[in-house]
Amino acid sequence: MTKAVVFGTGSWGTTFAMILAEAGTSTTLWGRRAEVVEAIARRHENPEYLPGVALPPSLRATTDPAEAMEGADFVVLAVPSQTLRGNLAAWRPHLPDHAVLVSLMKGIELRTSKRMSEVICEVAGVPEERVAVVSGPNLVGELIRREPAATVVASVDEKVTARLQEACHLPWFRAYTNADVVGVELGGAVKNVIALAVGVAAGMGLGDNVRATLMTRGLAEISRLGAALGADPHTFAGLAGMGDLVASCTSPLSRNRTFGENLGRGMTLAETIAATRQTAEGVKSCESVLDLARKHDVEMPITEVVVGVVHDGMTPREAAMLLLSRTPKPERYGV
């Protein structure tokens, strides 16, 4: 039987552990807080992140990383992106020799501008063949009701993606494989930034034309950055590209979109942060995405104004004026 451990009892870590367990994978959740772990292990409920959701009785939980990782084929990582490096360094001594490390995270590391799979290879000291990522339009608020959804599992090693696909595939949760790790990770991280922009526009009371324009030009930004980093352009037309972008930019369940909407309505950054209970990765990653773009000489005007509004005191109105006053250009070469 395939064995997995999921690090992180937040909304996605818990939900993905539920999916793995329901797919017949022997699964353990690792969490920091004893009371949450205790509730998952004894009452089959995560009262902090998924109150009222019945988790599979077969799902185990522990606070001990060594116990959690014993014999694991997949070590799944679902902590906030900016905490991955420190956490993984602490967990590394317990990693089973042949385990595959799986990232569920949609962020880019601040300071280094590294993708999560790059951080994993560096900190765990494993080759890229032992790393996989899972990304797609996977809003937890729908998955916990077992509403149909699909995702992408990506790795450079097709044997790894086949095993991971089997470990998490369910009648209501379709996992597709892809070899393009770079594209799949970029799609997930940058759509959060575009969802912030769409949220700001919605909060300002702007309509569907603006939202559609931001999503489309946002996809152009994702694709340009992807091209510079060697991603497969087809990935961005898929679930981890357009699919995830559409879900986050249109759903009231998206934390990034909601965060932007609050800013667009006139809430201050401090008020917006206080109103956000869960991880909205784009808030931090917009800066590292912009750094990455600048390192590779890629123009990302929507990302630039998101950084301006979230971190540099730019007003939503100033951001809109900046985007609208850009030089007219052909769509195809819209840089």
User: What is the binding site for ligand G3P (CB under 6 A)?
Assistant: 106, 137-139, 192, 195, 244, 247-248, 254-257, 280
Annotated ligand binding at 13? The verdict is yes
- As to burial, measured by CB atoms within 10 angstroms (0-12 exposed, 13-18 middle, 19+ buried), residue 335 is exposed
In degrees, to the nearest 5, what angle opens at C-alpha 27 toward C-alphas 87 and 192?
55
Q: Which does 195 bind (CB under 5 to 8 A by kind): ligand NAD, ligand G3P, none?
A: ligand G3P
Handedness of CA 18, 138, 191, 243 (dihedral sign): positive
Token pair recorded at residue 215:
């999503």
Let me know if 284 is a catalytic residue.
no
Number of residues that bind ligand NAD (CB under 6 A): 24
Catalytic residue among 3, 114, 159, 191: 191
Asked whether position 140 contacts ligand NAD by CB under 6 A, the answer is yes
Tokens (6 digits) for 119:
């951080």
Does 12 count as an annotated binding residue? yes
Q: CA–CA separation, 326 vs 317, rounded Å?
A: 15
**Which x/- pattern, by CB under 6 A, does the window 100-119 give for ligand NAD?**
----xxxx------------
Min dist CB 329 to ligand NAD, Å, is 32
Establish whether 33 is an annotated binding residue: yes
Q: Is 185 annotated as a binding residue?
A: no
User: Min. distance of Cβ 10 from ligand G3P in angstroms?
Assistant: 11
Angle at alpha carbon of residue 241, lines to 238 and 243, rounded to 5°: 70
C-alpha pair distances (Å), 296 with each of 81, 290, 315 = 22, 10, 28
Q: Which of 309, 304, 308 is nearest to 326 (CA)?
A: 304
Give the C-alpha distances (Å, rounded to integers) separating 166 from 1, 157, 239, 279, 328. 11, 15, 18, 28, 48
Strands (E), 65-108: 74-77, 100-103
One-character DSSP codes across 267-295: --HHHHHHH--S--THHHHHHHHHHHHHH
* Site track for ligand NAD across 9-48, x = CB under 6 A: xxxxx------------------x----------------
Residue nearest to ligand NAD (CB): 10
Residues lying near ligand NAD in the complex (CB under 6 A): 8-13, 32, 49, 78-81, 83, 87, 104-107, 138-140, 278-279, 281
Binding residues for NADPH: 11-12, 32-33, 49, 106, 255, 281
Which positions are catalytic?
191
Tell me the binding residues: 8-13, 32-33, 49, 106, 136, 191, 244, 254-256, 281
Annotated binding site for NAD(+): 8-13, 255
- Can you say which residues are annotated as belonging to the binding site for sn-glycerol 3-phosphate? 106, 136, 191, 244, 254-256
